[in-house]
Structure formats: C-alpha cells, structure tokens
C-alpha cells in the first residue's frame, strides 16, 4: 500500500503518521521527492484500513500495490535511484540519466594483465573496472579465479588508474574480503541464492544484481527485494541475456527488459552484451542497442589477449575493439 501526502504537510504531522503506522506493525518506507512525499507500507498491511487513511486531512490518496516487490517498486519511489561510487574525480553516478561504462577481463589473471587492461579501458572512456576473482565456472576443472589474491590485484589496478572496481561474490562467507570493493556483483547463477542476498541486505555496499539464467523480470525484482528489505537500497540491475531455444548466441539478450524494468522499478539497469552474446563481434551492435534502449550503463569484457584468456576469451574485446565500441556508445548517448 502507498499513501501520497498532500503538499505542505509538516515534519511533525509526518512523524506522527509514521509512528502510528509502525505501531500497527507495518514497515514504513519514505520517499521524499521534489514535489511529493510517498509513504510505502511494507509487510502485513491487512490491519490498515485504506479508507481510514484516505480520510486523514494530510493524505492525498492511498493505493494498494499488488506487485509482490515493494521497495523496488517505482510506485514506492517515483524518482530514479542514482547509485554513487568512487570519490573525487573518479566518482561515478549510475542511474537518473547518468551512464556508467564498466570494462575489464572476465577474470583477473595477473598484475600485469589487470593493470594493463585497466589503463587501456580508462583511456577509451570506461569509468569502472570489472574483473572476476571468484569465478562461477560450469566445470570444476576450469580456472576458478585467483580468489583473495585477485581482489588484491584489482585494488592495485584501482590505485594505478583511479577506476572504482566491480567484482563478483560467490559466498556470504567471503563478505569481509569485499569490504574495500566499490560494487559487489551477484552473478546470474546466484541471483536466487537467498542467504547470500539476505547477507548483502545487511551491507551498505552497492550491489550489481545480474538476472538469473532463466529468471523472469518479476523473479529478478524479488531478488532485489531480498536485498532492499534488509536495508540496502543500493542496487543496480544487470540484464545479461537469458536461456532460450536458440543457441546461436550464448544467451538471448532481452532488451525489452530495459523499458519494462524502468516502468516497474526506480532501480538503474545496465546491460552486459558480452555474456548475452558470447561472441565478441556482436558486442558493438548490442552495446549500441542497449544504450539506445535507455540502459544506465554497460559492463563489457575486455582482454589484452582474448585467444589466451583463462575465461570467456570468445566474447572478450581487445582494447582496440573496446575503444571503438566506447566511441559508438558515446555517439548514441549524444543523439539521445
């Protein structure tokens, strides 16, 4: 249920209302926009009589929200959420018209590799560095990532370039290791690892929540809700393609998820054209399409030597190819 307050309601009146609602056993989520204050009621609202609430002279209107996601719902929070990472000249804003370009290798392989790629993608206009240290691989015999050492190498690359870092967490047991990471990624395979999501709800780090391999948009938003209902509202959604019957591309990129998510939610949404297509030659057109469709950013795999990458070489761009993609994306942004 949401209650929209009339303009000019005093702080005391707001507080009295919020205290009364809490005393009725519901959670309260306040969204103070420039023109409107929206109070979202979370939990069991069956004890709240909407007519009674509607009758109060400080209330403009009351609506029941039928969707199961509340905190992530745009009706609870009409204005776009803007996520802020990094500091000073390296500050990055994501959402609300701000566009982020995250680029880097699938996996961190060595200091030379990650620092070299970080410098290259920064020169081409990326404003964040990606790189996996804990890798969710289909086969246990494949490279599993450098683990904690990989996180340290990402920090070295951040120190050298200033680029904030985004990297994937695989288990809640590792959360302490991620304290100094700028954005924690939850990969497609862990989108419904509810214990992990609950743990991240207790953190205040921005979370990049990838869409599950065969998850509906509503299931994805419910996973965001797990994190948000724990108190962490810093979520960026990432469309990375879903499983379908066509196997020509690695996954099928659901670009319609961008406008749908923007209708349903206030959270920023970025696109990963690398995992979506699995083919480096398709990354440029899908990056341009995602940008044109209104994405708040991109996350793109870039490797100095794709043919010898320890993970996802076929979908990785060379730094020179990334430079071209970044320029095309800037051109689309200018048209928009």
Residues at the interface with Mn ion (CB under 5 A) = 106, 312
- CB-nearer residue toward Mn ion: 187 or 201: 187
Site string for ligand PEP, 104-123 (x = CB under 6 A): --x-----------------
150 binds, among Mn ion, ligand PEP, none (CB under 5 to 8 A by kind): none
136 binds, among ligand PEP, Mn ion, none (CB under 5 to 8 A by kind): ligand PEP
- CB-nearer residue toward ligand PEP: 233 or 239: 239
Separation CA 252–CA 214 (nearest Å):
10
Site string for ligand PEP, 273-292 (x = CB under 6 A): --x-----------------
Separation CA 227–CA 331 (nearest Å):
35
DSSP state of 228: H
Out of 39, 169, 188, 257, point to the residue binding ligand PEP (CB under 6 A).
Answer: 188
DSSP state of 6: P
Site string for ligand PEP, 135-154 (x = CB under 6 A): -x------------------
Residue nearest to ligand PEP (CB): 187
- CB-nearer residue toward Mn ion: 95 or 131: 131
Cβ neighbour number for residue 226 with a 10 Å cutoff = 24
Q: Six-digit token pair at 70?
A: 């509340």
CB of 54 to ligand PEP, least distance (A): 44
Separation CA 163–CA 175 (nearest Å):
21
Q: Six-digit token pair at 105?
A: 């290798």
Residue nearest to Mn ion (CB): 106
CB of 282 to ligand PEP, least distance (A): 16
The DSSP annotation for 244-303 comes to -S--SSSSB--TTHHHHHHHHBSS-EEE-HHHHH--GGGHHHHHHHHHHTT-SEEEEEB-
**Residue 250 engages ligand PEP in binding (rule: CB under 6 A):** no
DSSP state of 98: B
Out of 29, 77, 158, 210, point to the residue binding ligand PEP (CB under 6 A).
Answer: 210
Would you call 319 exposed, middle or buried from its count of C-beta atoms within 10 A (0-12, 13-18, 19+)?
middle
303 binds, among ligand PEP, Mn ion, none (CB under 5 to 8 A by kind): none
105 binds, among ligand PEP, Mn ion, none (CB under 5 to 8 A by kind): none
Q: Decide: 268 and 292 in contact? Cβ < 8 Å.
A: no
Q: Six-digit token pair at 220?
A: 């994805």
- CB-nearer residue toward Mn ion: 45 or 144: 144
CB of 315 to Mn ion, least distance (A): 7
Comparing CA positions, the residue from 85, 72, 158 lying closest to residue 115 is 158
Provide the residue count of the chain. 336
Out of 240, 250, 266, 303, point to the residue binding ligand PEP (CB under 6 A).
Answer: 240
Separation CA 162–CA 122 (nearest Å):
9
Footprint of ligand PEP (CB under 6 A): 106, 132, 136, 187-189, 210, 240, 272, 275
């Amino acid at each position: 249920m949401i209650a929209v307050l009339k303009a000019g309601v005093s702080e005391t009146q707001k507080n009295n209302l919020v205290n009364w609602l809490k005393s009725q056993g519901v959670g309260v989520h306040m969204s103070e926009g420039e023109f409107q204050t929206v109070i979202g009621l979370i939990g069991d609202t069956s004890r709240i009589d909407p007519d009674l609430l509607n009758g109060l002279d400080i209330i403009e209107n009351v609506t029941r929200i039928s969707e199961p996601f509340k905190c992530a719902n745009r009706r609870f929070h009409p204005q776009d959420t803007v996520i802020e990472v990094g500091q000073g000249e390296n500050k990055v804003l994501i959402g609300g018209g701000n566009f982020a370009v995250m680029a880097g290798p699938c996996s961190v392989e060595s200091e030379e590799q990650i620092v070299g790629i970080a410098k290259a993608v920064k020169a081409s206009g990326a404003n964040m560095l990606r790189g996996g240290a804990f890798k969710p691989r289909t086969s246990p015999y494949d490279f599993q990532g450098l683990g904690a050492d990989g996180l340290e190498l990402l920090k070295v690359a951040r120190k050298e370039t200033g680029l904030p870092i985004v990297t994937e967490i695989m288990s809640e047991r590792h959360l302490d290791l991620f304290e100094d990471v700028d954005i924690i990624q939850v990969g497609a395979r862990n989108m419904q690892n509810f214990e992990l999501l609950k743990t991240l709800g207790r953190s205040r780090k921005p979370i990049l929540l990838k869409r599950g391999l065969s998850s509906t948009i509503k299931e994805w938003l419910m996973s965001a809700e797990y994190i948000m209902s724990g108190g962490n509202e810093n979520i960026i959604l990432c469309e990375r393609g879903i499983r379908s019957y066509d196997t020509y591309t690695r996954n099928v990129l659901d670009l319609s998820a961008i406008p749908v998510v923007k209708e349903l939610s206030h959270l920023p949404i970025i696109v990963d054209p690398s995992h979506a297509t699995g083919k480096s030659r398709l990354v440029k057109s899908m990056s341009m399409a995602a940008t044109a469709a209104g994405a708040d950013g991109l996350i793109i795999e870039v490797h100095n030597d794709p043919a010898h990458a320890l993970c996802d070489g076929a979908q990785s761009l060379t730094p020179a190819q990334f430079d071209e993609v970044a320029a095309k994306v800037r051109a689309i942004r200018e048209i928009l």
